[in-house]
Amino acid sequence: MIYLGSHVGMKAPNYFYGSILESISYGANACMIYTGAPSNTKRKPVERLKIDQAHALMKEQSWDRYRVIVHAPYLINLANTIKPEVAQFGQEFLASELKRVQAFGATTLVLHPGASLKADVNVAIQSIIDRLNAVLDADDSSICIALETMAGKGSELGSTFEQLAHIRSGIHKQERIKICLDTCHIHDAGYDLHAFDTVLAHFDAVLGLDQLACIHLNDSKNERGTHKDRHANIGEGYIGFDCLYAIAHHPKLQDVTKILETPYKDGKPPYKEEIAALRRAY
């Protein structure tokens, strides 16, 4: 069995219960949500989000709660030393997001590492380390923060496995820092997914396969190494269907949750068709 789903919405009136209903309609057995809009910090009280109903439905469908991945909002930038008040705000909001993830019963929060802007890269990385330590040292849950592999657009940090390992090495509670591998991002960062076993061996050597919390399974509109981060639908980009299918079914990744973040087509989500194609015997 592979654990495969997509990003799904969470909106009134059914909120989290609606997210699970939407996922089931796609033939998924996993999903990814934001606890609110990904571009702002406005959040509904957790008591209104129909979490108990969602859990009951998940139990009916034999879903494990840890197959629900939560993504932190994009505006958190713990690396911002140009405006440290922005990084401080991100630190405080990240701490509150962990509480919300715990209320959902999920175990993984995906986080973009941040961007250095015009600051020295090492200074920016140290800011990420310090602020992650401040959040995790004060938090008594077991929720893991999964740092996402990035494309390296602009001053984005986390586009190499080594840079993510550098961040993780400075964390006090290292058991709570995992990795989310995004196929579009690492392709755009320069990794050759058509030699995926080599990439996976490199990941294992630098970070450890046991640290891989989830995979964002996306095609790319860009040629390898362009550092642009533009997702394409499965089989419609430079990575291609065969390569992504092989990753989805890779024997070393059978227990890793895979999430589609592919673009809508003609204003409609493509996830039911893409999930069916990736599940099909091939």
DSSP structural state of residue 225 = T
Known binding residue 112? Answer is yes
Nearest to 239 by CA among 188, 197, 201: 188
Known binding residue 71? Answer is yes
In the structure encoding, which two tokens stand for residue 167, read together? 């961040």
Q: How many CA atoms lie within 13 A of 224 on its CB side?
A: 11
In the structure encoding, which two tokens stand for residue 223, read together? 């040629």
Known binding residue 148? Answer is yes
Known binding residue 242? Answer is no
How far apart are the C-alpha atoms of 163 and 200, rounded to whole Å? 16
Known binding residue 185? Answer is yes
Known binding residue 60? Answer is no
DSSP structural state of residue 115 = B
Question: 179-193 as b/e, with b when 16 or more CB fall inside 10 Å?
Answer: bbbbbbbbbbbebeb
Known binding residue 139? Answer is no
Known binding residue 261? Answer is yes
How far apart are the C-alpha atoms of 75 and 61, rounded to whole Å? 34
How far apart are the C-alpha atoms of 30 and 9, rounded to whole Å? 13
Q: Which helix (H) or strand (E) holds 110?
A: strand 108-111
How far apart are the C-alpha atoms of 24 and 75, rounded to whole Å? 29
DSSP structural state of residue 13 = T
- The alpha carbons of the chain give a radius of gyration, in whole angstroms, of 18
How far apart are the C-alpha atoms of 26 and 177, rounded to whole Å? 30
Cβ–Cβ under 8 Å, residues 170 and 238:
no
Nearest to 253 by CA among 191, 195, 203, 184: 203
Known binding residue 47? Answer is no
Can you say which residues are annotated as belonging to the binding site for Zn(2+)? Answer: 71, 112, 148, 182, 185, 216, 229, 231, 261
**From the annotation, which residues make up the binding site?**
71, 112, 148, 182, 185, 216, 229, 231, 261
